[in-house]
Amino acid sequence: MEERSVIVETRDLVKVYGDGPEVRALDGANMSVHRGELVTVMGPSGSGKSTLLNMIGALDRSTSGRVVVKGEDLSSIRDLDAFRAQEVGFVFQLHNLIPTLTASENVEIPMHGQVKQRQRRKRTQELLDLVGLIDRAGHLPSQLSGGERQRVAVARALANQPAILLADEPTGSLDTTAGREIMELLQKVNRERGMTIIVVTHDRKVARMTQRILTLEDGRIVDDHPVQTPLVEDLRELARSQLGQSLLDRRGKILKEVGLGSDAGLTEQGEYLRGLLVGLT
Amino acid sequence: MILRNLLGRKTRTFLTLVGIAIGVAAIVALVAIADGFASGYYGLLSGSQADLVITQAESFDMSVSVIDEEVGPQLTALSGVEEVEGVIIGEATTEGIPYFMVFGYDPKGAGIQHFRVVEGKELTAKREIIIGKLAAENLKKGVGDTLRLYDSAYRIVGIYETGAFFEEGGGVISLADAQAMLKRPRQVNTYTVKLRDVDQAEAVRQRIERRFPDLLVVESANFADQQLGLQFVRAFAWALSFLAVVIGGVGMMNTTLMSVFERTREIGVLRALGWRKGRVLAMILSESLLLSLLGGLAGVVLGVVAVKALGRLPAVSGWLQGEFSLGLFVQAAVVTLALGATAGLYPAWWASRLHPVEALRYEGGGGEGVSPRLPGGMTTRSLFRRKTRTLLTMVGIGIGVATVVALVGLTDGFIDDFTALATGSGTDLMAVEANISDMAYSAIDEKVGKRIAGLSGVKSVSGTVFSVAMSEETPFMIVFGYHPAEYAIRHFKIVEGEGLSANRQIILGHSAAEAMEKQVGDKVRIFDSSFRIVGIYETGASYEDSGGVISLREAQALFGKPRQVGFLGIKVEDPHRVEGVRQRIEEEFPEITVSLSTEFAERLPDLQAMEALVGGISFLAVIVGGVGMMNTMVMSVFERTREIGVLRALGWRRSKVLFMVVRESLLLGVVSGLAGVVMGVAMGKALTLLPFIGGLLKPSFRSYTFVQALIMALALGMIGGLYPAWWASRLHPIEALRYE
Ligand SMILES: Nc1ncnc2c1ncn2[C@@H]1O[C@H](COP(=O)(O)OP(=O)(O)O)[C@@H](O)[C@H]1O
Ligand SMILES: [Mg+2]
């Protein structure tokens, strides 16, 4: 793979919440994302995914550690509002459009104070065209389907041509088909515009539609690997599951039982499992 | 559960409580003050051990009642009467106290005995005064000091107690001094009568009234209730309280409704779990009742504190003292519960009618019914999102603004009317007695008029008296006394019949004639004298057109102002030098105030008092309205917490969020204000349709009134919007996004 420049980097990132019982939402998270990459952050609920995304998106300041976006340390930026408006595009779970504004007005929100009126119109048209909703421009969110709403949110995130697009569970409240369509849209945006995209999800199917998967557990990145062929990903998934773990634990016993200890009398079944177990390791 | 529901939205609950509390506090305070007035009056005469109290029939208030002293001996001569004593009750301006009550008693009479002197000695001579304990405190004066009443100095010889605060806040001088000071020679305000046999009270009462048809005889225990002025004060207190309660109630309904809307799903769950409709209804209603009860309680405390605090002001403590009776608290409780019930009923009904399945599917947040075609973008649409709430807020604020608009319109109407009255006859200057609290008290010696006429630069002077006549035939009518031959009477343009030429004649304004259904040739009774209508006139000033004119001499006799006039109209030789003449007259006659006739109305103490009153009402309306407005905006911002989080995440600055909320609030204020202006104008016009009184009301709406109303509405928007806007702008984006 060709070497590309790093656009997002976190170093020993720590975020502690709360005045009462402290919650270490992030506990020394290290990661980096290259320009033009489409990556996933996965992890169980409460592992700190949203927190990580919010730190990268300059929604909050870290307790310690560094976040560097486009070569700039976020802690040295004073006007985070302007930074968000210009460099970051956000897509959240459902219900993140302003219900009183039409699709095109929603897309225009980040452009207030950033882009001239006349250009706004043009760009909004362009973006709605990109997400395939040009004929829905005048509709209110309540008149759109869940998938359509998220498309508007993607268009809105791209409004100011940001450096990075951050999506926190963008498919969280959608059915499988709609979720798949949103991911395809993100892929397209990544491909055609070279947009760097970080998606947070706990859905493996969604994660596999990206290029790299970072796994977060208890506020730390515990795994980081490129997405491979579906078979390899399936095996990887199996290995991480309880069943996979127990299969691996009893590896010797299983091999013996199916007669792999000795080479004699290898069945078709046995061949299959051997391949499986090799793959698992 | 009920309590927890209320606590769930602390700010909203708190604001609602404040709104109700202010409404109830207004009732408690105003009614207590009115009751205090009543008992003050009552205390005045019951202390003197009188059995009957006699005042002039048809007089608006004891202080304007006039009875000739000749009546005294005749009363004494009646059988069953043991003792009769004339008393003067009036007000004087003194150091720092605009309404200092002055009582004139015969130092050797029985009535003065109930002023128990606790320091110094009793009243014995002229130019002496004894003052009440409260007055001594307020004036910071003691025995041996001097007290100026109008232009005369009195030596304080004693301090007294009576238990009646009207008396303890004022002072007693000799009857003769009082008559001179208040320009009531050989007259008293009231006679108190002691009977030989109290059981004969009713018989004696009837005997006196038969003998003197122009006198009103009341048993002293019922005296206060018979005072028209007092009934006015009471009616006003209730009207004002009603206003505060309505505005508070609208706010209350708003809160309950919102709390029901946002719990639609919860209600669905409860219904799904088997709760009956009635139970849901009872739950919402109990919440509303609990809320109003708490607000009512706070209101009672607030009201009592307000009255106590007011009573401490030296300027008013002589006559403003609340009286808190059990009945008042019961009234407050009833109003409170009624408020809770009415405000809760509709939301409770709405909630109980919810279909469980639909309630469970409810998504909330609104926005569904908003048309993208609405002009004004986000700001208008946000208001349309919660139509009921916006409407209720508009109603609440609209009522407040409307009241102010109507009252200002009426006041301006009065001013226009008086200006027309003053300028109508071509008069350049108008003079009234200086330092009076009410035009009705103005009394200028006719000699002053003669002397002014002799000044250089003065062309002519014409004097007028007027008084309000009240009877069954004419519930409220102003009767003017003009000299039939002087120039001023000419502006009563006769449209039917002829002008005044002899005694016992009256000319009537066309509105008065219409209201009384009288024609030329008919007779009317005024102050128990019969007058023949010789003409009908029209001047354009509604005061005059709903009144009547009799000859000056007769009016002076009838109103108890012999050789005195209420106003002087002055014509000057050279209109360009009018200001110089005005100053010269004021320098030479310090006892009168002279105004240009065009400015006369605005400088009248009555209208200034009325303006102060309107100011007070506006203030109350602004406070209660502002609280309601804030409540609405707080709700509207709370429910959009997540949206605000999104906006902030997308790079909107705090200031932008702040302006967004303030804009909404201002828009709501302005729209409510406009609705209020329309309602106010309608209200003002509707009042003119009232019989008799309506004829006197001629609201005049000036552009600045509308500007004022709009400024008031904007102020409401600002008051209501600032805190929610600040709250919204300070929201941390992450927390806002996590908000459920
Ligand atoms: N604003 C906050 N205040 C307090 N605790 C928080 C806040 N945001 C997140 N947390 C806590 O931090 C941990 C990580 O949260 P989050 O990043 O939202 O997890 P994820 O998105 O992976 O589900 C959780 O335990 C959560 O309760
Ligand atoms: Mg999350």
Listing DSSP states for B500-563 in one string gives --STTEEEEEHHHHHHHT--TT-EEEETTEEEEEEEEEE-S-HHHHTSEEEEHHHHHHHHT-TT
d(CA B321, CA B307): 7
Atom number of ligand 1 nearest to Cα A15: 12
CA atoms within 13 A on the CB side of B596: 8
Residue A18 Cβ inside 6 Å of ligand 1? The answer reads yes
A18: contact with B, CB 8 A cutoff: no
Residue A17 Cβ inside 6 Å of ligand 1? The answer reads yes
* Residue B656 to residue A112, Cβ atoms within 8 A: yes
DSSP at B731: -
The verdict on residue A78 lying in a domain is yes
CA nearest neighbour of A238 among A180, A278, A265, A268: A278
Regarding whether A240 and A117 lie in a shared domain, the answer is no
Q: Which domain holds residue A93?
A: 6-227
Q: Which of A16, A100, A154, A166 to mutate to test the interface with B (most CBs of B within 10 A)?
A: A100
B651: contact with A, CB 8 A cutoff: yes
The verdict on residue A144 lying in a domain is yes
* Residue A99 to residue B646, Cβ atoms within 8 A: no
Residue A48 Cβ inside 6 Å of ligand 1? The answer reads yes
Residue count of chain B: 740
The verdict on residue A176 lying in a domain is yes
Regarding whether A238 and A144 lie in a shared domain, the answer is no
Q: How far is the CA of A26 from the centre of ligand 2 (A)?
A: 13
Residue A21 Cβ inside 6 Å of ligand 1? The answer reads no
Rounded to a whole number, what is the distance in Å from the CA of A6 to chain B's nearest CA?
A: 24
Burial of B384 (0-12, 13-18, 19+ CB in 10 A): middle
Per-residue confidence (pLDDT) for residue B141, from 0 to 100: 87
Enclosing H/E stretch for A33: strand A23-34
- For B643, the closest of A60, A98, A112 (CB atoms) is A98
Enclosing H/E stretch for B618: helix B605-638
- For A59, the closest of B382, B643, B734 (CB atoms) is B734
B residues 381-410 near A, CB within 8 Å? 381-382, 384-385
Give the three-state DSSP class for B267.
Answer: helix
Q: How far is the CA of B47 from the centre of ligand 1 (A)?
A: 76
Rounded to a whole number, what is the distance in Å from the CA of B361 to chain A's nearest CA?
A: 14
- The dihedral through the CA atoms of B197, B201, B207, B209 has a sign that is positive
- For A100, the closest of B367, B732, B737 (CB atoms) is B367
Regarding whether A158 and A274 lie in a shared domain, the answer is no
- The dihedral through the CA atoms of B309, B312, B313, B315 has a sign that is positive
A96: contact with B, CB 8 A cutoff: yes
Task: Mark which of A183, A201, A227 sits at the end of a domain.
Answer: A227
* Residue B646 to residue A98, Cβ atoms within 8 A: yes
Give the CA distances from residue B720 to residues A140, B445, B715, in Å, rounded to whole numbers and listed in that order.
29, 55, 8
Give the CA distances from residue B661 to residues A15, A110, A160, B367, B657, in Å, rounded to whole numbers and listed in that order.
31, 18, 25, 17, 6
Q: Average model confidence (pLDDT) for chain A?
A: 85
Which residues does B684 contact at the CB level (< 8 Å), separation at least 6? B405, B406, B409, B410, B413, B697, B699, B701
Per-residue confidence (pLDDT) for residue B41, from 0 to 100: 67
d(CA B440, CA B55): 17
A93: contact with B, CB 8 A cutoff: no
- The dihedral through the CA atoms of B643, B649, B650, B655 has a sign that is positive
Residue A226 Cβ inside 6 Å of ligand 1? The answer reads no
Per-residue confidence (pLDDT) for residue A261, from 0 to 100: 55
List, as own/partner pairs, every contact residues B79-83 make where C-beta atoms lie below 8 angstroms and the sequence separation is at least 24, other chains included. Answer: B79/B207, B80/B195, B80/B196, B80/B197, B80/B200, B80/B203, B80/B204, B80/B207, B81/B193, B81/B194, B81/B195, B81/B196, B81/B204, B82/B194, B82/B195, B82/B196, B83/B110, B83/B193, B83/B194
Cβ pair B23, B244 in contact under 8 A: yes
B648 contacts in chain A (CB < 8 Å): 59, 81
Write out the two tokens for A231: 């078979």
d(CA B633, CA B646): 19
d(CA A147, CA A174): 7
Three-state SS sequence of B557-606: HHHCCCCEECEEEEEECCHHHHHHHHHHHHHHCCCEEEEECCCHHHHCHH
Rounded to a whole number, what is the distance in Å from the CA of A31 to chain B's nearest CA?
A: 22
B372: contact with A, CB 8 A cutoff: yes
The domains of chain B are located at: 1-46+233-362, 58-213, 376-417+605-740, 435-590
Regarding whether A275 and A171 lie in a shared domain, the answer is no
B665: contact with A, CB 8 A cutoff: no
Write out the two tokens for B90: 């009036």
Ligand in nearest proximity to the CA of A216: 1
d(CA B298, CA B295): 5
- For A85, the closest of B646, B650, B733 (CB atoms) is B650
Give the three-state DSSP class for A247.
Answer: helix
Enumerate residue ranges in chain B where pLDDT < 70. 1-9, 41-48, 58-61, 96, 98, 221-230, 232, 313-321, 361-376, 437-438, 440, 470-475, 605-606, 691-696, 740
Atom number of ligand 1 nearest to Cα A219: 14
B370, closest residue in chain A (CA to CA): A100
Which residues does A117 contact at the CB level (< 8 Å), separation at least 6? none
- For A84, the closest of B366, B372, B649 (CB atoms) is B649
- For A92, the closest of B367, B646, B653 (CB atoms) is B646
Ligand in nearest proximity to the CA of A92: 2
Angle B175-B179-B184 (CA atoms, 0-180°, nearest 5)?
145
Calculate what percentage of chain B has a pLDDT beyond 90.
9
The verdict on residue A143 lying in a domain is yes
Per-residue confidence (pLDDT) for residue A12, from 0 to 100: 94
Does position A67 have pLDDT exceeding 90, yes or no?
Answer: yes
B728 contacts in chain A (CB < 8 Å): none
Task: Mark which of A183, A204, A227 sits at the end of a domain.
Answer: A227
DSSP-based helix, strand, coil % in chain B, nearest 5? 60, 20, 25
Per-residue confidence (pLDDT) for residue B733, from 0 to 100: 87
Ligand in nearest proximity to the CA of A170: 2
Give the burial string for A243-265 (b: 16+ CB within 10 Å, else e): ebeebeeeeeebeeebebeeeee
Q: Across the A/B interface, how many CB contacts are shorter than 8 Å?
A: 82
B155: contact with A, CB 8 A cutoff: no
The verdict on residue A1 lying in a domain is no
Angle B147-B151-B155 (CA atoms, 0-180°, nearest 5)?
25
Regarding whether A150 and A174 lie in a shared domain, the answer is yes
Task: Report the number of distinct structural domains present in chain A.
Answer: 2
A179: contact with B, CB 8 A cutoff: no
B733: contact with A, CB 8 A cutoff: yes
* Residue B370 to residue A113, Cβ atoms within 8 A: no
Regarding whether A180 and A157 lie in a shared domain, the answer is yes
d(CA B443, CA B563): 9
pTM higher than the cut 0.90: no
Which residues does B213 contact at the CB level (< 8 Å), separation at least 6? B57, B528
CA nearest neighbour of B458 among B581, B562, B333: B581
A149: contact with B, CB 8 A cutoff: no
Per-residue confidence (pLDDT) for residue A1, from 0 to 100: 42
A114 contacts in chain B (CB < 8 Å): 651
d(CA B375, CA B266): 35
B663: contact with A, CB 8 A cutoff: no
Residue bearing the bigger pLDDT, A165 or B167:
A165
Nearest CA residue ID for atom 6, ligand 1? A17
Residue type, A170: P
CA nearest neighbour of A228 among A213, A245, A249, A248: A213
* Residue A60 to residue B653, Cβ atoms within 8 A: no
Residue bearing the bigger pLDDT, A180 or B26:
A180
* Residue A99 to residue B385, Cβ atoms within 8 A: yes
> Tokens 């008031």 identify what position?
B712
- For A140, the closest of B372, B642, B732 (CB atoms) is B372
Regarding whether A89 and A40 lie in a shared domain, the answer is yes
What number is the ipTM of this complex?
Answer: 0.80
Pairing mode of beta strands B444-445, B564-565: antiparallel
Rounded to a whole number, what is the distance in Å from the CA of A122 to chain B's nearest CA?
A: 19
Residue A47 Cβ inside 6 Å of ligand 1? The answer reads yes
- The dihedral through the CA atoms of B252, B253, B254, B255 has a sign that is positive
* Residue A81 to residue B651, Cβ atoms within 8 A: yes
A80, closest residue in chain B (CA to CA): B651
Regarding whether A249 and A203 lie in a shared domain, the answer is no
Nearest CA residue ID for atom 4, ligand 1? A17
Q: Check which CATH number belongs to the domain holding A165 and give it.
A: 3.40.50.300
Q: Which of B380, B644, B650 to mutate to test the interface with A (most CBs of A within 10 A)?
A: B650
Task: Mark which of A182, A206, A227 sits at the end of a domain.
Answer: A227
The verdict on residue A261 lying in a domain is yes
Q: Write the DSSP string, B358-384.
A: HHHH---S--TT--TT-TTHHHHHHHH
First to last CA, chain A: 24
Q: Which residues pair with A69 in a beta bridge?
A: A8, A72
CA nearest neighbour of B614 among B350, B377, B410: B410
The verdict on residue A182 lying in a domain is yes
Pairing mode of beta strands B171-174, A212-217: unpaired
